[in-house]
Amino acid sequence: MSDKDIDKPEPVDFDVAGNPLFSDQPAQAKSDRPSIWVWLGLGSLLIVALAVIFVLPTIVTEYELPLERRLAVTELQPSLPAVSRNQPSEISPFDEAQRSLERKQAQDVLADLLLKQAELDQLEVQRWGLADYENSLEQARGGDELYREQGFGQARDAYQRGRDGLQALIDSIPVVMTQTLIEAQVALDAADTEAAMEQYSLALLFDPDNELAQIGYQRAQSLEEVTSLLTDAGERYEDGELQVALESYQNALDLDSYNEVARAQIQQVAAEIRENEFSQIMSAGYSHLENGNTDEAIAEFRRASGLGINQEQALAAITQTENEIASAEINSLQRQIGLAETEERWAAVVSDYDAVLTIDPNLVFAIDGRDYAGKRLNLDQLLANAIDNPERFAEDSVFEQTRDIYFTGRSIENPGFRLAEQLDDLQALLETSQVPINIQLVSDNLTNVTLLRIGSLGSFEQHQLSLKPGVYVAVGTRSGYRDVREEFTVGFGLTPASVLVQCDERVVATNGR
């Protein structure tokens, strides 16, 4: 080993502030030489220390224990200046190796600390953890002092405490992130733009991809304009300008789609606008109803029900109007029914009752009235038919049936002029229908005469009969002659002077027979 190698200075280390860490031992000038007695003492140890002098310094110089290669000056930081080879050392090689190991450990911890410090600086730790950050660095600076005094183990421990403090800050970031978002939301709700942007920007430093932070920061950017719109909308609302207020609230929500105040106010104002519109439409409907314009009233009420609010009220108004319309129609029909009953126009009465039952099929007066009117209409038709066809009374069955109809009519109290007149006419017809009338039949004494419903009269030239009023048919037959049929009416002023029944038309035989 040359003197040049012995005199070579050791690397210089740096503290957390970037300052070189020097040993407190005074460096002696290269030109200072020890006394002769020192050299004599060293000579006596030459044999023992030969291996240490030539081998161990090389290992210590090139390696840190346990056998890790020492970093060069350009690879780490300048180390402490070397003690002159002429300065006597009382430290054993083992202690020197142990101290080198501790120094390396301190340097490793310091390097890790500096990495964490750089990470926290990028996260702008001064904005959220300044006190703990400075406290951790202060502990690290204490390690610098110990390092300069070559208390490498204690320096390492101090660096570790500083590093652990910085790590604790890094570990606290999720909690700080949560609190930051809470404070940002509070600031946003309080319309504090500066504070909101400050907190959201910090949250984005922690997590640039955080959706809540991204949304919050965007909302904070438009906060002042949104706040202005909300204020204007509130004033418009107080002044009753609901439509203008609604537009302002909508503009605010367009800028900040997450603004719950604007969203809630839009719903409230829109509801009030619909309420006002509903009231106006209903008022118009009732106005039409008062003026008797029921169709227009129902149209307005239906329009009100289509707004989607207070539908029960609108439907009740429609029902009320329809009931009033129905009541008016029923009242009108009742008046018509009363007049028709008085005039005994039973077909019209039945029709009007049917119209009432179409409106309300449960009305008792209409049900009962329809039944009575139907019976009177049937009686009226039977009486009219009997009076119009009295000739049928000659048939006993028809006579009995017609007499029952007559007595049914007579049983009615307060029959009315028409019914009384019909019954009187029918009575007269029934009475006269039973009084026989003489009628003469004339023939040629060659024709065989039969009077239907009476019997065969034989051949005669003249035949006198007494017949009840009615329609009769006389049939004449004669061999070789075509039959004849004579219909005649007895009574009712239609009795003929005589009835000729005679077969005059000969039947000619054909060659094909």
Which pLDDT belongs to residue 86? 46
Residues 490-505, mean pLDDT to the nearest whole number: 91
Residue 26 has pLDDT above 80, yes or no: no
Q: What is the DSSP letter of 151?
A: -
Which pLDDT belongs to residue 120? 93
pLDDT band at 36 (very low <50, low <70, confident <90, very high): low
pLDDT band at 502 (very low <50, low <70, confident <90, very high): very high
Residue 182 has pLDDT above 90, yes or no: yes
Note the Cα 138 to chain centre separation in Å.
62
Which pLDDT belongs to residue 92? 78
Beta carbons of 223 and 191 less than 8 angstroms apart: yes
Residues 430-458, mean pLDDT to the nearest whole number: 91
Backbone phi, then psi, for 28, in 5-degree steps? -90, 145
Residue 407 has pLDDT above 80, yes or no: yes
Beta carbons of 143 and 155 less than 8 angstroms apart: yes
Helix 130-148 with 93-122: angle, nearest 10 deg:
160
CA–CA dist 124, 84 (Å, integer):
45
CA distances from 327 to 297, 319, 332, 333, 373 (A): 16, 12, 8, 10, 21
Express each pLDDT in 408-439 by its tens digit. 999 998 888 999 999 999 898 888 888 899 99
Bridge partners of residue 456, in order along the sequence: 450
Residues 353-369, mean pLDDT to the nearest whole number: 92
- In 3D space, the residue among 470, 333, 304 whose CA is nearest the CA of residue 397 turns out to be 470
Burial 355-387 (b: 16+ CB within 10 A, else e): bbeebeeeeeebeebbeebeebbebbebbeebb
- Which helix (DSSP H) or strand (DSSP E) does residue 29 occupy? none
Express each pLDDT in 281-323 by its tens digit. 999 998 988 888 888 989 988 999 888 888 888 899 998 888 8
- The mean predicted confidence, pLDDT, of the chain is 82
Which pLDDT belongs to residue 443? 95
Beta carbons of 280 and 300 less than 8 angstroms apart: no
- In 3D space, the residue among 249, 235, 188 whose CA is nearest the CA of residue 213 turns out to be 188
Contacts of 252 (CB under 8 A, 6+ apart): 226, 229, 230, 233, 259, 262
Which pLDDT belongs to residue 68? 36
Residue 178 has pLDDT above 70, yes or no: yes
Quick one: residue 63, left, alpha or beta (phi over 0 = left, psi -120 to 50 = alpha)? beta
Q: Higher confidence at residue 491 or residue 41?
A: 491
Q: Is 496 helix (H, G, I), strand (E, B) or coil?
A: coil
Express each pLDDT in 311-357 by its tens digit. 888 899 998 888 888 888 899 999 999 999 999 999 999 999 999 99
Which pLDDT belongs to residue 13? 52
Residue 168 has pLDDT above 80, yes or no: yes
Bridge partners of residue 450, in order along the sequence: 456, 475
Farthest CA pair distance, the chain: 209
Residues 439-450, mean pLDDT to the nearest whole number: 95
pLDDT band at 276 (very low <50, low <70, confident <90, very high): very high
- Beta strands 498-500 and 437-442: pairing type? parallel
Q: Which long-range contacts (CB under 8 A, 24 or more apart) does 277-282 make?
A: 277/307, 278/304, 278/307, 278/309, 278/310, 278/314, 281/307, 282/313, 282/314, 282/317
Backbone phi, then psi, for 163, in 5-degree steps? -65, -45
Residues 62-71, mean pLDDT to the nearest whole number: 37
Which pLDDT belongs to residue 35? 53
Which pLDDT belongs to residue 19? 53
Handedness of CA 215, 220, 226, 231 (dihedral sign): positive
CA–CA dist 111, 107 (Å, integer):
6
Q: What is the DSSP letter of 17?
A: T
pTM of structure: 0.47
Bridge partners of residue 482, in order along the sequence: none
pLDDT band at 162 (very low <50, low <70, confident <90, very high): very high
Instruction: Look up residue 371 and give its two tokens.
Output: 């039944």
Q: Which long-range contacts (CB under 8 A, 24 or more apart) does 449-456 make?
A: 449/474, 449/475, 449/476, 449/501, 450/474, 450/475, 450/476, 450/477, 451/475, 453/394, 453/395
Residue 79 has pLDDT above 60, yes or no: no
Identity of residue 218: Q
Residues 181-187, mean pLDDT to the nearest whole number: 93
Residues 487-495, mean pLDDT to the nearest whole number: 88
H helix intervals, 360-496: 364-388, 396-410, 416-432
Residue 7 has pLDDT above 70, yes or no: no
Which pLDDT belongs to residue 211? 92
Radius of gyration (C-alpha) of the chain in whole angstroms:
67
Note the Cα 103 to chain centre separation in Å.
73
Which pLDDT belongs to residue 42? 52
